[in-house]
């Protein structure tokens, strides 16, 4: 079971086409939950080695859009996706196995969801799935991932304790560590810092800036300051549409669309 | 207004109005009622256990604990063996069926009809299952009464318990655990095996304890399947021999059948004592099994969940 999946990943990596500076290219993406259309004709090119922020009022479809990128919406009964989503020039819906896709596109959920396992086993979960069983190797991955998520010092003495006993903010950072442990190329973060104190938030922001050197980060945030601080590109969503997309400075300082102007200036009503 | 509030004695904070007082009173009455009811249940259980065990202690004699015609040793062994066999059959099938229903069966028609089938199965009178077992496992196979048929009959009764507890346990898991695992690139099966099953150990163990309880206590379903006689020779270890203790295809009277038989068609003078001792042993077995299974499940949960913070 484990070995098969390892071969799967290796094969996928070998087949990867030459890398462009684009990560995801979405063309005419429509998404329906039953008869409700949650995403309307989304066209978006997400750049590699950049942080892209998704902003917009609650219920506008940010999480939904994020879930189309790693095909987590496949699990929602009655959910239908139209259009084309290309990852590195490969059709993510036609030519990639969702399991392989999710190994390359990691996700941190809006609600922290650590497994009912020890802290160590939570982080080691992904690497073990990939077939890594050597204790020393796992130890190293666990430590590195927890350090990256700015939680190693807090947790290093209680790795064998249940993850469910952690505070909400600690759980969220643990989930970030768990996602990093499998070395994804793209990291999707759904309001990953909304439950964190300013210091941990700053750590996670530093982490995102560090990660973008190697990876691509796409983050949903309700915190405008955060988007301004770290995002290179920002997309504004409203009622299932992508209203405006551009360099972060442009979106915040010189928005073109009326709805963007009102949203970023806080006069939305 | 503010000045008024700072200068007053903050009476508005100290005041409890009549409605709230009634609500508190009701709260206390309800709490007391629940304590009394659950206390009564615990007392009843303890009293019953003591009564049965005391009856057994008074009946004790070395003769009764022997592995002979007049003892309960063979029946004790048959009971353990039958429960073991029935669990070997019903636990894997029951868990697999529960997981299938919760995770694979299309929501709606399939799960609904399966549920109805399982609920019907679990409310079948055990004598009916016994007669069904007699027809299918004994008459149709053209064989004699045997332990294995008894285990199959008990499995029919215990399968629904294990299936529904597994199903309910899976349905009660937070959806975030499943999504978290899948988002890390686990397959559906890996998610079930590494996350969902370990998280459901407690409730599934409850199902197993209930299932074993049926095996320990069942009489009607075993009358015409496992049979009312036992003939074991403890020096024969050739499993094909009809008197070998481990041969599942030999008749095997269990403790509860023995209790029933000694009380209804007693042939020997010591039948009353045998029944009392057998009841006490049966009761202690059930208790030991339940506590042991709980401890095991707590150990397993701790192993998979990590220590408490
Ligand atoms: N599983 C689902 N089934 C049906 N409708 C859904 C489902 N998930 C989301 N929706 C609907 O799709 C729309 C977009 O939801 P989504 O969760 O993507 O919003 P969001 O932008 O992430 O909001 P928030 O900022 O509050 O997290 C909402 O109207 C929501 O009710
Ligand atoms: Mg959301």
Q: Is residue A55 part of a domain?
A: yes
Q: What is the pLDDT of residues A89-99, one digit of tens each?
A: 899 999 999 99
Residue A38 lies in a domain: yes
Reported as a single tens digit per residue, the pLDDT across A5-63 is: 443 444 444 444 445 567 899 999 999 999 999 999 999 999 999 999 999 999 999 99
Compute the C-alpha angle B100/B105/B110, nearest 5°: 125
Residue A3 lies in a domain: no
**Residue A49 region, left (φ>0) first, then alpha (ψ -120 to 50), else beta?**
left
| Over residues B219-238, mean pLDDT | 88
Among all bound ligands, the one having the nearest atom to the CA of A64 is: 1
Residue to substitute from B183, B187, B199, B298, interface A, most A β-carbons within 10 A: B183
Q: For chain B, how many residues are written?
A: 309
Specify if A81 maps to a domain.
yes
Q: Is A224 exposed, middle or buried (0-12, 13-18, 19+ CB in 10 A)?
A: middle
Residues B196 and B51: their CA atoms lie apart, in Å, by: 42
- Could you tell me the pTM of the whole model? 0.86
ipTM field: 0.88
Distance CA B258, CA B278 (A): 7
Q: Does residue A207 belong to any structural domain of this protein?
A: yes
CATH of residue A56's domain is 3.40.50.300
Strands A241-247 and A233-238: antiparallel
Q: Considering its fold, how many domains does chain A have in total? A: 1
Residue A249: domain span: 9-264
Q: How high is the pLDDT of residue B234?
A: 87
- CA angle, A158 as apex, A155 and A163 as ends, to 5°? 80
Which residues of chain B have a CB within 8 Å of the CB of A124? none
In a domain, residue A246? The reply is yes
Q: Does B180 touch chain A (CB under 8 A)?
A: yes
Sheet holding A36-47: strands in order across? Answer: A90-91, A79-87, A22-33, A36-47, A241-247, A233-238, A51-55, A216-220, A186-190, A105-108
Highest mean pLDDT among A152-161, B6-15, B258-267: A152-161
| Nearest ligand to the C-alpha atom of residue A58 | 1
Q: Name residues contacting ligand 1 (CB within 6 A).
A: A 33, 36, 38, 56, 58-64, 76, 110
Which residue is closest to B179 within chain A, CA to CA?
Answer: A72
Residue A133 above 80 pLDDT? Answer: yes
Which of A113, A121, A161 lies closest to B180 in CB terms?
Answer: A113
Specify the pLDDT at position A203: 85
**Residues A212-222: pLDDT tens digits?**
998 899 999 99
């Amino acid at each position: 079971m484990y070995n098969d999946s390892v071969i799967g990943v290796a094969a996928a990596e070998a087949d990867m086409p030459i890398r462009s500076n684009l990560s995801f290219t979405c063309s005419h993406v429509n998404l329906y939950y039953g008869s409700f259309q949650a995403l309307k004709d989304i066209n978006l090119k997400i750049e590699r080695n950049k942080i892209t922020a998704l902003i917009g009022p609650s219920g506008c479809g940010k999480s939904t859009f994020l879930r189309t990128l790693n095909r987590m919406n496949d699990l929602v009964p009655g959910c239908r996706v139209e259009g084309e989503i290309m990852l590195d020039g490969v059709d993510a819906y036609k030519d990639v196995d969702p399991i392989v896709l999710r190994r390359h596109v990691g996700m941190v959920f809006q609600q922290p969801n650590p497994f009912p396992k020890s802290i160590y086993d939570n982080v080691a979960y992904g690497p073990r799935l990939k077939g890594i069983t050597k204790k020393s190797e796992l130890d190293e991955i666990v430590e590195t991932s927890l350090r990256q998520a700015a939680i190693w010092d807090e947790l290093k003495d209680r790795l064998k304790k249940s993850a469910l006993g952690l505070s909400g903010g600690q759980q969220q950072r643990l989930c970030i560590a768990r996602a990093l442990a499998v070395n994804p190329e793209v990291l999707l973060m759904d309001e990953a810092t909304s439950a964190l104190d300013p210091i941990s938030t700053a750590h996670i922001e530093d982490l995102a800036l560090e990660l973008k050197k190697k990876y691509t980060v796409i983050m949903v945030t309700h915190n405008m300051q955060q988007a301004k601080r770290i995002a290179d590109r920002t997309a504004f969503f409203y009622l299932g549409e992508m209203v405006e997309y551009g360099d972060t400075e442009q979106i915040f300082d010189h928005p073109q669309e009326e709805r963007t102007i009102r949203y970023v200036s806080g006069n939305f009503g | 207004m503010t000045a008024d509030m700072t200068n007053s004695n903050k009476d508005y904070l100290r005041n409890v109005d009549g409605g709230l007082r009634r609500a508190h009173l009701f709260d206390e009455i309800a709490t007391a009622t629940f304590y009394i009811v659950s206390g009564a249940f615990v007392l009843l259980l303890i009293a019953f256990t003591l009564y049965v065990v005391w009856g057994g202690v008074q009946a004790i004699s070395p003769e009764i604990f022997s592995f002979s015609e007049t003892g309960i040793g063979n029946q004790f062994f048959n009971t353990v063996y039958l429960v073991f066999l029935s669990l070997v059959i019903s636990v894997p099938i029951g868990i697999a069926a529960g997981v299938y229903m919760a995770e694979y069966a299309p929501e709606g028609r399939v799960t609904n009809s399966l549920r109805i089938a399982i609920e019907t199965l679990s409310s079948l009178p055990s004598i009916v299952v016994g007669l069904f077992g007699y027809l299918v496992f004994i008459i149709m196979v053209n064989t004699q009464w045997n332990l294995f048929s008894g285990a199959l009959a008990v499995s029919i009764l215990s399968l629904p318990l294990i299936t529904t507890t597994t199903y309910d346990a899976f349905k009660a898991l937070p959806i975030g655990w499943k999504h978290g695992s899948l988002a890390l690139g686990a397959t559906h099966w890996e998610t079930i095996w590494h996350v969902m099953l370990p998280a459901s150990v407690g409730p599934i163990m409850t199902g197993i304890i209930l299932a074993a309880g049926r095996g320990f206590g069942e009489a009607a379903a075993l009358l015409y399947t496992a049979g009312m006689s036992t003939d074991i020779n403890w020096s024969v270890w050739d499993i094909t021999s009809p008197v070998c203790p481990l041969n599942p295809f030999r008749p095997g009277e269990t403790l509860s059948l023995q209790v029933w038989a000694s009380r209804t068609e007693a042939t020997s003078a010591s039948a009353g004592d045998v029944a009392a001792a057998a009841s006490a042993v049966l009761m202690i077995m059930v208790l030991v099994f339940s506590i042991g299974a709980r401890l095991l499940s707590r150990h397993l949960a701790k192993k998979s969940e990590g220590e408490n913070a």
